[in-house]
């Protein structure tokens, strides 16, 4: 039989697709021999864009490697170039191709919400979808920035921050009133119109009209002083002082920029830092740095365009994006963001003036942040290498998983897994496990560990059998001695996983922190020098796992403390649960209530009353 010809790859493979392509806009995917996506790209003209890859020379090393590995391609045409841009960024976030720039940290940002669900609105921090009725102000760069601003705003405007249920249950003012952070509308110390004025002032301030608010407070202070209402004048003086402190804490506020994100990029040695400053209502609401995954030979335009497309995929863009470098498809990006916002979005690259000064400041922050990150990464690399040498590993581990359990006499038991690698703790990979084993003896740590590891590795085997997604650990750290290590080795053998190194960390004979013993399968216990950096590193990993496990356990315990049988009744949500408990005093009283009494509770329909009554009496 004649030999089967080798399948086409690289330039020849890409060339074979050209005859089927036209000049339509669209998105293309390059795949390797195992059908893994190497790269996702967009094109105004698919045929012209793909033909660039058929040239044998003139590519950067990164693109040349990508072309050589390409074994197949996929294409999807779109009606417009803007659709192609949006589809490209969605596919990059979904597929995480190796050769694309990828934004790894894409959490939502907190806002301040002035709620509109009550006669006396509350002010609070909000994160996530804007489903609650009210006015939203943000984004702020961090929860800390929101909390600091809220604390100062409460000094100035004295709006309540308690829940509606707490508000309704008060019979006398709480501590917030005593320390002059609230005007106690819950007990009638302020009228609804007076409180509405405070709310209006707070919203004017958050909208950037701080000068008007300050002038109004100053006028009221003078009027109170002239009327010899010195106590009220002193209170207004304190509010003006607090308002000044808010403005000082925000740093330098721009004079000519009302609403914008300042986005600056610094590239160095194959790594990138993007610094974003949030300017809203002419106020600086904080900054945050991002470290997208990039290659060694990417250009600023490619990194910034990819960052912007992925960053605003789930966020509301401001009126202006002020960038440190131009991007290739600025017109398409501006159109896509404008369509998303429902109003015009400008993309600017300033050369002079205040906007250029803001970019210079953001660039300096990006440069300094990347320098710190690179120094930390270098230190982390040395520690991982030292870990490999100490425990005779094949190489520096790229993914370490540390496991711990937490419970109180077996109740509210949870397992926890933390992950560390070359860039430190990988918190978006942390996992918590609610222990489900009904047959476990309370406090059976071996049984809990077996359940956690079995669930973890069964899922890994199912989702990543080829171990090519970076989810498999190189090293397991177990909190325990020889017994725990032997038990874990048995669990792993049952699962058919025998090539992952594991080390048990025990506290030593006198359980003194700093005299840990390390246990490995088939080897004698060992210890490290008390001042060895690797020892401190392992302690830090173990302590982080313990912290995460304890926090998870406490959260579960706190949730169970507030749980009642009413939580199991379909149709009884938080509001109806509060109404029932307020009416009857306890869940036990609800369970004993007559059907007629249940119907008399506000918000409980006849059908729901029957459902609640049947739930408790059928159980009996």
pLDDT, block means (10 residues), the chain with 620 residues: 61 89 93 92 93 88 91 93 90 90 83 89 87 87 84 84 85 88 90 89 77 73 79 73 60 76 92 92 86 87 93 89 93 90 91 92 93 88 93 92 77 84 89 76 74 89 83 90 86 87 79 74 87 90 89 72 67 80 79 85 85 72
Domain boundary among 65, 95, 125: 95
Per-residue pLDDT at 277: 93
Give the chain's largest Cα–Cα span. Answer: 110
Whether 505 is covered by a domain: the verdict is yes
One DSSP character per residue, 422-446 reads TTEE-GGG-EEEE---TTSPTT-HH
Query: Same domain for 349 and 291?
Result: yes
Whether 115 is covered by a domain: the verdict is yes
Query: Same domain for 545 and 569?
Result: no
Query: Same domain for 451 and 552?
Result: yes
Query: 342: domain CATH number?
Result: 3.30.420.340
Per-residue pLDDT at 620: 43
Whether 238 is covered by a domain: the verdict is yes
Per the structure, the complete domain to which residue 183 belongs is given by: 111-249
> Cα dihedral sign for 461, 462, 464, 465?
positive
Query: Same domain for 544 and 417?
Result: yes
Query: Same domain for 151 and 213?
Result: yes
Q: Which residues have a Cβ under 8 Å from the Cβ of 523 and sit 6 or more positions away?
A: none
Give the model confidence (pLDDT) of 293-312 as tens digits: 887 788 999 999 999 999 99
Query: Same domain for 15 and 137?
Result: no
Query: Same domain for 306 and 360?
Result: yes
Query: Same domain for 190 and 314?
Result: no
Per-residue pLDDT at 39: 94
User: How far is the C-alpha of 350 from the C-alpha of 321, rounded, in Å?
Assistant: 11
Q: Is 99 helix (H, G, I), strand (E, B) or coil?
A: coil
Which two structure tokens, joined as six digits, stand for 433? 């496990």
Q: What angle do CA 109, 214, 158 make, to 5 degrees?
A: 60
Whether 322 is covered by a domain: the verdict is yes
Whether 254 is covered by a domain: the verdict is no
Q: Residue 70 burial (CB < 10 Å; 0-12/13-18/19+)?
A: buried
Domain boundary among 512, 544, 559: 559
Q: Which of 541, 554, 557, 293 is nearest to 430 (CA)?
A: 541
Whether 288 is covered by a domain: the verdict is yes
Give the model confidence (pLDDT) of 569-610 as tens digits: 777 877 788 888 878 877 778 888 888 888 888 888 888 888
Query: Same domain for 89 and 117?
Result: no
Beta strands in 281-364 (DSSP E): 283-290, 320-323, 346-348
In sequence order, the β-bridge partners of residue 517 are: 506
Per-residue pLDDT at 248: 54
Q: Which of 301, 339, 348, 299 is nearest to 317 (CA)?
A: 339
Per-residue pLDDT at 410: 55
Query: 82: domain CATH number?
Result: 3.40.1440.10
Query: Same domain for 234 and 265?
Result: no
Whether 29 is covered by a domain: the verdict is yes
Query: Same domain for 569 and 555?
Result: no
Pairing type for strands 320-323 and 283-290 reads unpaired
Per-residue pLDDT at 282: 82
Number of domains in the chain: 5
Which two structure tokens, joined as six digits, stand for 229? 């209402």
Whether 536 is covered by a domain: the verdict is yes
Query: Same domain for 407 and 546?
Result: yes
Which two structure tokens, joined as six digits, stand for 373? 């990150």
Domain boundary among 559, 575, 591: 559
Give the model confidence (pLDDT) of 391-418 as tens digits: 999 899 999 999 988 866 556 788 889 9
Q: Which of 364, 475, 357 is nearest to 419 (CA)?
A: 475
Query: 610: domain CATH number?
Result: 1.10.150.20
């Amino acid at each position: 039989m004649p030999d089967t010809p080798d399948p086409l790859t690289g330039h020849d493979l890409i060339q074979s697709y050209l005859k089927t392509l036209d000049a339509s806009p669209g998105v293309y995917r390059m795949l390797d021999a195992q059908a893994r996506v190497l790269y996702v790209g967009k094109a105004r003209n698919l045929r012209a864009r793909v033909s660039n890859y058929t040239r044998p020379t003139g590519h950067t090393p990164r693109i040349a490697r990508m072309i050589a590995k390409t074994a197949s391609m996929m294409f999807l045409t779109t009606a417009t170039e803007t659709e192609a841009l949006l589809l490209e960024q969605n596919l990059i976030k979904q597929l995480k191709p190796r050769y694309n720039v990828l934004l790894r940290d894409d959490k939502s940002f907190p806002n301040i919400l002035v709620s509109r669900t009550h006669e006396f609105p509350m002010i609070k921090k909000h994160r996530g979808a804007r489903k609650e009725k009210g006015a939203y102000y943000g984004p702020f760069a961090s929860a800390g920035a929101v909390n600091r601003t809220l604390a100062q705003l409460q000094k100035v405007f004295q709006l309540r921050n308690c829940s509606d249920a707490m508000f309704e249950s008060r019979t006398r003012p709480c501590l917030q009133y005593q320390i002059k952070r609230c005007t106690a509308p819950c007990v009638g110390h302020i009228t609804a119109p007076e409180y509405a004025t405070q709310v209006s002032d707070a919203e004017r301030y958050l909208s950037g009209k701080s000068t008007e608010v300050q002038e109004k407070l100053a006028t009221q202070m003078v009027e109170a002083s002239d009327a010899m209402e010195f106590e009220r004048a002193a209170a207004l003086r304190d509010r003006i002082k607090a308002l000044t402190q808010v403005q000082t804490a925000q740093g330098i506020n721009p004079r000519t920029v009302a609403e914008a994100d300042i986005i600056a990029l610094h590239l160095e040695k194959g790594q990138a830092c993007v610094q974003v400053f949030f300017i809203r209502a002419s106020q600086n609401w904080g900054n945050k740095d991002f470290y997208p995954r990039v290659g060694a030979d990417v250009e600023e335009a490619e990194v910034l365009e990819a960052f912007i497309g992925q960053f605003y995929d789930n966020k509301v863009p401001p009126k202006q994006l002020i960038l440190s470098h131009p991007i290739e498809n600025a017109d398409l990006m501006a159109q896509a963001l404008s369509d998303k916002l429902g109003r015009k979005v400008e993309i600017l690259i300033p050369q002079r003036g205040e906007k250029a000064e803001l970019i210079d400041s953001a660039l300096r922050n990006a440069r300094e942040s990347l320098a710190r990150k690179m120094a930390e990464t270098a230190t982390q690399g040395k520690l991982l290498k030292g870990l490999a040498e100490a425990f005779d590993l094949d190489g520096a581990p790229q993914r370490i998983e540390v496991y711990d359990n937490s419970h109180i006499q077996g109740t509210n038991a949870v397992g926890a897994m933390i992950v560390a690698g070359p860039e430190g703790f990988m918190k978006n990979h942390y996992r918590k496990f609610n222990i489900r084993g009904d047959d476990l003896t309370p406090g059976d740590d071996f049984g809990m560990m077996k359940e956690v590891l079995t669930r973890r590795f069964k899922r890994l085997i199912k989702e990543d059998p080829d171990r090519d997604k970076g989810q498999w650990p190189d090293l397991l750290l177990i909190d325990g001695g020889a017994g725990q290590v032997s038990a874990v080795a048995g669990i792993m053998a049952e699962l058919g996983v025998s090539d992952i190194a594991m080390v048990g960390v025990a506290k030593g004979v006198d359980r003194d922190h700093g005299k840990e013993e390390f246990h490995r399968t088939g080897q004698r216990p060992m210890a490290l020098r008390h001042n060895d950096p690797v020892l401190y590193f392992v302690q830090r990993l173990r302590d982080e796992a313990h912290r995460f496990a304890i926090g998870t356990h406490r959260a579960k315990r706190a949730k169970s403390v507030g749980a009642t049988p009413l939580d199991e009744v379909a149709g009884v949500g938080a509001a109806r649960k509060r109404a029932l408990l307020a009416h009857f005093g306890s869940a036990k009283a609800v369970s004993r209530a007559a059907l007629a009494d249940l119907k008399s509770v506000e918000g409980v329909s006849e059908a729901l009353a029957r459902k609640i009554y049947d739930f408790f009496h059928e159980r009996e």
